[in-house]
Structure 1
Amino acid sequence: MQLLHVPSSLCLSFQNVKTHEESGLPSYEKPLQLSSAIFCSLQQQRPERSKWASRRGSALSSFTAKAASLEDVAGAPAISKGTAESDVLKALSQIIDPDFGTDIVSCGFVKDLRINEALGEVSFRLELTTPACPIKDMFEQKANEVVNLLPWVKNVSVTMSAQPARPIYAEQLPAGLRTISNIIAVSSCKGGVGKSTVAVNLAYTLAGMGARVGIFDADVYGPSLPTMVSPENRILVMNPEKKTIIPTEYLGVKLVSFGFAGQGRAIMRGPMVSGVINQLLTTTEWGELDYLVVDMPPGTGDIQLTLCQVVPLTAAVIVTTPQKLAFIDVAKGVRMFSKLKVPCVAVVENMSHFDADGKRYYPFGRGSGSQVVEQFGIPNLFDLPIRPTLSASGDSGTPEVVADPLGDVSKTFQDIGICVVQQCAKIRQQVSTAVTYDKSIKAIRVKVPDSDEAFLLHPATVRRNDRSAQSVDEWTGEQKLQFADVPEDIEPEEIRPMGNYAVSITWPDGFSQIAPYDQLQTIERLVDVPRRVPSQV
């Protein structure tokens, strides 16, 4: 192994659930991707588990704990395999997701269903989108209960699992990023507001919830990660065969920072810094991660643009302080993410207040965080108090959520973690289903994320509206692709998401069209919906 030297130039697999016709079961052709705040897991040994579960307990009231009425089966001397499978799926369909109101069977969460009718044994697996959710144990308990209520069942075995970590469009990414499900930017255009404190404690909170997590310190000029954590190996090493970077680790979280490269703080110009960031991020052997937390540097310059363009950011968490000056700078960052189609899911107002003599004091004023939420429509706001222990933990190398997992600060970060898990799952669901092809009516369905409007487009119209250099002359603007060049009955072969802003549509002639959501919203729409074409057997 050799030391890394920086060169100078530097939620679930929602598969369709198709049951056998002979069993008389329904066929679920359009599963719904649900919030990962529901289908996830929690490390059993952490003391916070009961607090998280109780906090979401009210949501679980939507579960129906009673199995379906099966009197016609109870009196039968023997039960067939098809009937038994139907009974189990019908019982599990009583479990409703409290956020979306859809049962777990229709969503395709039930996997590997095995039944021994003679012994009355049932086993199955619930596949999760992410292992980082506080009420996974509740789902397991309800699944056991409803199946055990079936009259012929004597033993139930439920296994909880999560899909392999991967982004929605892995094949378009550098090799090092293809096994990372969600990349979260923790950002503020202003320095000194506590981005690194929030990033590190958020990462270790997600790890405490059972997720596989990494932290990338993107501040080359002033890296904070080496001070805030204390890994045994404080120098990054390079795999000489693969020419990849092996991250260091602390308490199970993978860490990469320029401060671990043995170079100290950087003195270099912007383009060179962008090269360093690109190398550190894309050539690291991250392995399978559910969440990669990126500690963004202040500003909206080369580094920020490089990160947003090279990395498929799932969402951003904005950090601010109560002062008006902080709001002015933070607003610039929010606008940058908006322009780059990166959703901002939460605002954290750091150093918001302190308590003394039975009173709450706001030494830096009030309202910056709420102003960001109101002006930009960000859905969640969290306050972090002024605490000497929070500052001290950043200097000691042990994050506050690790040093005091039951404290008030840790509870706030648990709420932030739950918010991030839930919002990331919703974003992934919206992106993966934003543009689809409905073969039965030969039309492209569009529902742009963060929009309630859904509409249909004719495939030929979409193909004719391509604005790439192959269809339109870049210099003259002359239309190279003519109307007659596209057959009316053309159908897309594949539609894949391209970040949070566009889809890639592959056509029968091999052409891959990049169709931004903004452009799709301006194309002539189908008003008369075509009749459904019966599926061929």
Structure 2
Amino acid sequence: MECTAGASALSTGMAESDVLKALSQIIDPDFGTDIVSCGFVKDLHINEASGEVSFRLELTTPACPIKDMFEQKANEVVAVLPWVKNVHVTMSAQPARPIFSEQLPAGLQKISNIVAVSSCKGGVGKSTVAVNLAYTLVGMGARVGIFDADVYGPSLPTMVSPENRLLEMNPEKGTIIPTEYLGVKLVSFGFAGQGRAIMRGPMVSGVINQLLTTTEWGELDYLIVDMPPGTGDIQLTLCQVVPLTAAVIVTTPQKLAFIDVAKGVRMFSKLKVPCVAVVENMSHFDADGKRYYPFGRGSGSQVVQQFGIPHLFDLPIRPTLSASGDSGMPEVAADPQGEVAKTFQNLGVCVVQQCAKIRQQVSTAVTYDKSIKAIRVKVPDSDEEFLLHPATVRRNDRSAQSVDEWTGEQKLQYTDVPEDIEPEDIRPMGNYAVSITWPDGFSQIAPYDQLQMIERLVDVPKPTPTPA
């Protein structure tokens, strides 16, 4: 009896191994890793007697553009196993929590990705892109919010028509409850009963900060931030208050637009926010079977080439695109099968895939390898991986606790840090740094730039065998 039970357990183990081996043929194109290593396969149940296999594929976003492909391939690769008669695959999504959520205001703690849509120039259709992108992502299955960050000229009240056009306050918590239209949560100064504001810059920064951080956004997969034009104090405040995952840049074909956009891309670059796509609006129109480019060509492709931004999308000059913005019904909702909606569908796929890729790179950028007692660093967008000694990292802390802010004198002495110190926890902070917690309770903020400058481990220690 025991022998049979042992054999059955052994064969179940082999059957599970067969299924996982088959599923590991499926590669996630965003992460470049198979779906088993990504941890997507959950609740695997095998009944060998009836030849039935069931499992769940848990993706990182409900808007995954290739979820149907994953489901189909998973069915196919498991079904070809000789002993399998029936395969049952269910799909689910467990969106990644925001990176370093404990440091964020309560309202932002359940937002997985925050995407800025920016033009750095007024009148190029940035709000049109932001709103249509948001409704495209909803159509892909995501939970989405839009934050209209323009206090001087809020566009959102014109572009969408929610029944409730006033933001409500939760008197007990002192928080803002967003209004909603066609499944998207909305916050704009234009819904605050103020209309357009006349106020000085520092006041505007405060209003934007308050609106954004005290709103009860709830659980969102994507919060689209419609940035105000320019690259000044308001934009910097926004980028510092909110851990932006990525930015989408909107431009028009004129040279003047390119000059302003270049400023914006440089600002995002300094703030370590990756620009993942450029949208060239009002780029062309079709008439008499020909395509015309009235403003010339090349501003968008110039941005893409000069700054290495991976994707470029063209939007036509189309009366319905601006009219739908003025009518309160976004174009992608009014004509979901049209040419404009197809372009936005491609932009939506790009944003989803790039955000997933960025998060993956950030979450694995700095890790501690216990077997060799070294910190591994692989900075996003770099192919190079290097090792650092934990004590060296701790001794290179540049915070006020380690270095006198006024004199530059080193307060933390070399001998204060034991040679065999090991980090207790390493967590990403946005796209630019990690927070390392040490045994003495000290939390060190280590920007990637700084880690790249630290003396590296050349003699790699041999792995210490882990006790069985």
Aligned-pair CA distance for 1:80? 3.3
Aligned-pair CA distance for 1:387? 0.4
CA distance in 1 between partners of 2:239 and 2:191 (Å) = 23
Aligned-pair CA distance for 1:498? 1.2
Q: Which moved more, 1:151-160 or 1:75-84?
A: 75-84
Aligned-pair CA distance for 1:72? 19
Q: Is the contact between residue 30 and residue 353 of structure 2 (CA under 8 Å) also seen in structure 1?
A: no
CA distance in 1 between partners of 2:2 and 2:321 (Å) = 60
CA distance in 2 between partners of 1:160 and 1:366 (Å) = 43
Aligned-pair CA distance for 1:530? 0.8
Aligned-pair CA distance for 1:90? 2.2
Aligned-pair CA distance for 1:204? 0.5
Structure 1 alignment gaps of length 5 or more? 1-69
Structure 2 alignment gaps of length 5 or more? none
SS at match of 2:444: strand
CA distance in 2 between partners of 1:74 and 1:149 (Å) = 27
Q: Is the contact between residue 164 and residue 288 of structure 1 (CA under 8 Å) also seen in structure 2?
A: no
Render the CA deviation track for 1:369-426: whole Å, top value 9, x for unaligned. Answer: 1111111111111111100110110011110111111111111111111111111111
Pairing 1:501–2:432 present: yes
> Within 5 A, what are the aligned runs for 1:70-85?
80-85=11-16
The TM-score normalised by the length of structure 2 is 0.96
Render the CA deviation track for 1:492-528: whole Å, top value 9, x for unaligned. Answer: 1111111111111111111111111111111100111
Which residue in the other structure is 2:53 paired with?
122
Aligned-pair CA distance for 1:74? 19
Render the CA deviation track for 1:60-101: whole Å, top value 9, x for unaligned. Answer: xxxxxxxxxx99999999983222222222222232334555
CA separation of 1:234 and 1:88: change in aligned 2, threshold 3 A: same
Identity of aligned residues (%): 91
CA distance in 2 between partners of 1:223 and 1:72 (Å) = 74
Which residue in the other structure is 2:345 paired with?
414
Aligned-pair CA distance for 1:301? 1.6
CA distance in 2 between partners of 1:375 and 1:73 (Å) = 67
Render the CA deviation track for 1:335-376: whole Å, top value 9, x for unaligned. Answer: 111111111111111101111112211111111111111111
Q: Is the contact between residue 92 and residue 146 of structure 1 (CA under 8 Å) also seen in structure 2?
A: yes
CA distance in 1 between partners of 2:7 and 2:399 (Å) = 66
Q: Is the contact between residue 218 and residue 257 of structure 1 (CA under 8 Å) also seen in structure 2?
A: yes
CA distance in 1 between partners of 2:80 and 2:13 (Å) = 18
Aligned-pair CA distance for 1:136? 0.9
CA distance in 1 between partners of 2:21 and 2:3 (Å) = 14
Render the CA deviation track for 1:232-272: whole Å, top value 9, x for unaligned. Answer: 11111011122211111111111110111111111111111
CA distance in 1 between partners of 2:423 and 2:403 (Å) = 20
Q: Is the contact between residue 472 and residue 478 of structure 1 (CA under 8 Å) also seen in structure 2?
A: yes
Aligned-pair CA distance for 1:114? 1.6
Q: Is the contact between residue 44 and residue 54 of structure 2 (CA under 8 Å) also seen in structure 1?
A: yes
CA separation of 1:98 and 1:482: change in aligned 2, threshold 3 A: closer
Q: Is the contact between residue 31 and residue 360 of structure 2 (CA under 8 Å) also seen in structure 1?
A: no
SS at match of 1:346: strand
CA distance in 1 between partners of 2:223 and 2:210 (Å) = 16
For the aligned residue pairs, the C-alpha RMSD in angstroms reads 2.7
Render the CA deviation track for 1:436-459: whole Å, top value 9, x for unaligned. Answer: 110100000111111121110100
Which residue in the other structure is 1:485 paired with?
416
Q: Which moved more, 1:152-161 or 1:258-267?
A: 152-161
Render the CA deviation track for 1:118-169: whole Å, top value 9, x for unaligned. Answer: 3333221111010112221121122122223333333322111111452121
Selected match of 2:328 from 397, 410, 413: 397
CA separation of 1:79 and 1:526: change in aligned 2, threshold 3 A: closer
Q: Is the contact between residue 322 and residue 349 of structure 1 (CA under 8 Å) also seen in structure 2?
A: yes
Aligned-pair CA distance for 1:188? 1.1
CA distance in 2 between partners of 1:450 and 1:302 (Å) = 28
Aligned-pair CA distance for 1:277? 0.8
Which residue in the other structure is 2:404 paired with?
473
Q: Is the contact between residue 165 and residue 288 of structure 1 (CA under 8 Å) also seen in structure 2?
A: no
SS at match of 2:186: strand
CA separation of 1:535 and 1:75: change in aligned 2, threshold 3 A: closer
CA separation of 1:212 and 1:340: change in aligned 2, threshold 3 A: same
Q: Is the contact between residue 31 and residue 357 of structure 2 (CA under 8 Å) also seen in structure 1?
A: no
SS at match of 2:286: strand
CA separation of 1:517 and 1:94: change in aligned 2, threshold 3 A: closer
Q: Is the contact between residue 120 and residue 264 of structure 2 (CA under 8 Å) also seen in structure 1?
A: yes
SS at match of 2:272: coil
Q: Is the contact between residue 30 and residue 357 of structure 2 (CA under 8 Å) also seen in structure 1?
A: no
The TM-score normalised by the length of structure 1 is 0.84
User: How many residues align structurally?
Assistant: 468
Selected match of 1:281 from 212, 215, 218: 212
Q: Is the contact between residue 165 and residue 289 of structure 1 (CA under 8 Å) also seen in structure 2?
A: no
